[in-house]
Structure 1
């Protein structure tokens, strides 16, 4: 119940709002966090937002498995944690690789939100470089290219992993 509440909280609050909360509100409410670098606070906000989305995807992957797999693991004498570790999660992870790939690409793109609280990242560097060089189009095209290359690299790595872990007879297997 507590895990579901946390997942729902972090999943349903927009990322920009979470970044502002972590950057401005949380340090005011939790005095020991005032000395924490702002970059760390933004990473926490991005991490909690993404982890809630990943948790839902893994949960959906587990729920998509036939109930008989769980019962089979328990019938073999495995404990429930062992059944999850050795039977359910290996199969579920194969199912959730495609959505986790999308989530990995999203975290790269979502990092651009950090510029809203003055954390230097590619978009902010582009804004600064545009002011200094007056070459906005070229700079923003380069930044767009860097985001594309980063997301494309994640996609290609995930495709290799997905192909390596395919199970014949399962969704996406050839």
Structure 2
């Protein structure tokens, strides 16, 4: 027999859960509108200001001299990053080795090249001929000034500088891997090289990719410093033009726009590389998912 006080509750059926309504943030949208209006006003001002001489920017944007400088910038960036991270990975492995001599040498390299500004390094290598006018082995010799051209000097200086920072990035990524996995792999009889290649590096890439991509973008912009040793990169190419035409602002804008394009492309590549190496650990939402979530006031899942 049903209790008299329970019968009305059973007749109503199970209670439905209250509807969850997200909190509204009107001030947040007002601030967003104000910021968007300020950005649009700034863009309109830049686009309509005749002092920027956008017609001159368009005229020189795709000229042969600028494109040659652009290609050298891209080539120099790729060579610096590839060789720098190859040497940096070797230095990181030596730093983590049990051999105190190799570990000390790696530490000394990182300490030395991180302590000297890259501009000083470039100027030093550019003037190395004053210390060693002739380089040779046995009967073979060559003049240093003939061997170390401006481009070769730029590659040497940038690679040695990049390797010092890359070594610390790789070392930090390796140290982020759980040590228990290394012990388990060694217990199974795997060699140190195989453990590093099959277990450590694939997991360490999650921690390596973000700072490595940041270094790549920094290197792209940092290559402009080679203009001081007369290497015809993108910046030096536009400098040669505005030294002749005295149109400084529009030519600097040409270089600026090209740097913006290259940096944007590298940022897109960085995003998808991070997404690839983060698979299995977390699901990184795409930019479209983030935009939809922001408009909906939710969180992309």
Is this contact kept in 2: 1:20–1:117, CA < 8 A? Answer: yes
Q: Which residue of 2 aligns with 1:5?
A: 108
Shift of 1:102: 0.6
Gaps of 5+ in 1: none
**Aligned twin of 1:16:** 119
Residues 1:103 and 2:215 aligned together: yes
For 1:1-174, list aligned pairs within 5 A: 1-24=104-127, 26-30=128-132, 31-32=134-135, 33-36=144-147, 37-169=149-281
**Cα contact 1:58–1:96 (8 A) shared by 2:** yes
What is the CA distance between 1:170 and its match in structure 2? 6.0
Residue segments in structure 2 that go unaligned for 5+ positions in a row: 1-103, 136-143, 286-300
Shift of the alpha carbon at 1:94?
2.4
Distance in 2 (CA, whole Å) between partners of 1:29 and 1:91 is 45
TM-score normalised by the chain length of structure 2: 0.54
Using the size of structure 1 for normalisation, the TM-score is 0.90
1:85 Cα deviation from its structure 2 partner: 1.1
Superposition CA RMSD, Å: 1.9
Q: How far is 1:54 from its partner?
A: 0.9
Aligned mates of 1:27, 1:80 — CA distance in 2: 42
- Mapped to 2, the partners of 1:171 and 1:23 lie a distance apart of 48
1:49 CA drift (Å): 0.6
Q: Where is the helix percentage greater, Structure 1 or Structure 2? A: 1
User: How far did residue 64 of structure 1 move?
Assistant: 1.6
- Bigger radius of gyration among the two: 2
Distance 1:157 1:70 in 2: 31
Shift of residue 27, structure 1, vs aligned partner:
3.0
CA displacement 1:67-98 (0-9 Å, x = unmatched): 11211211221111211111111111222101
Alpha-carbon distance, 1:131 to partner: 2.0
For 2:178 and 2:284, the matched residues in 1 are separated by 17
Distance 1:146 1:158, change over 3 A: same
8 Å contact from structure 2 (residues 275, 284) kept in 1: no
1:157 CA displacement: 1.3
Given the superposition, is the C-alpha separation of residues 20 and 126 from structure 1 closer, same or farther in structure 2, using an over 3 Å criterion? same
* 1:90-113 superposed Cα distances (whole Å, 9 cap, x missing partner): 111222101010111111111111
